Amino acid sequence: MSWFFDLLSAALYAVFLQNLLFSGGFGTTEAIRTAMTPRRLILFAGFISYFSVLTSAVCRMLDDVPAVNALGWAAHTAVFTGVLAAVYLVTACALRFGLKASRRFLTTAGIAALNSLVLALPLMNRGTAAGLADSVGTGLGSGLAFILAVALINAGLKTLAKNKNIPRAFRGTPVMFVYVALLALALSGFSGGRFFS
């Protein structure tokens, strides 16, 4: 059962203690855009979790292969990105030909798969020598972290939208960036440092 607790703790860690979006800046473009129109938030976050879990798990298993583990930075990046692309292609084929998914659905899946939050996870897991349970847990947590980030940004932007006193130079993206910065500062109390370098 320890693998379950490892998985759970890794997921909670990725959501709360070191929110991947605010601690590392991963997936913030998608989070901000989804916060503007959060209509498909759950679907998008579900896709992120799905692709994160699969990619992290496959990459973690590949890392157990000595030949792959011995590769340098560039080769490892290529392998992990190739795994991500492959996972997406298999999923897209299944959606397209199996489930007759619409173009919009496939596009959502593509944007969710091919973003920095999903690709960052296997790279981070390798850097921290995370086990399979931790990798899967972090993947699961990434979707929840995305939802939390989008919800916080959306709530903040709603507040800012009602604020008529924002100086003209700051209206729009400037004040949004400052708000996200303060959110990231607030959540850095747990991590206190750079998430991964």
| Near other proteins in 92-151, by CB under 8 A | 92, 96, 102-104, 106-108, 110-111, 114-116, 118-120, 123-124, 127, 151
Check residue 85 for interaction with other proteins (CB under 8 A).
Answer: yes
SS3 (DSSP) at 196? coil
Nearer to other proteins, 98 or 168 (CB): 168
Per rule CB under 8 A, count of chain residues that contact other proteins: 98
C-alpha dihedral, 114 to 55 to 188 to 45, nearest 10°? 60
Q: How far is the CB of 125 from other proteins (least distance, A)?
A: 11
Q: Return the residues of window 4-43 that contact other proteins according to CB under 8 A.
A: 17, 22-30, 32-41
CA angle 62, 90, 114 (to 5 degrees): 75
131 and 5 in contact (C-beta within 8 Å)?
no
How many of the other CB atoms lie within 10 Å of CB of 26? 26
Q: Return the residues of window 49-68 that contact other proteins according to CB under 8 A.
A: none
CA-to-CA distance for 38 and 22, rounded, in angstroms?
A: 18
CA 92 to chain centre: 19
Q: How far is the CB of 44 from other proteins (least distance, A)?
A: 8
Find the binder of other proteins among 49, 135, 142, 154 (CB under 8 A). 154
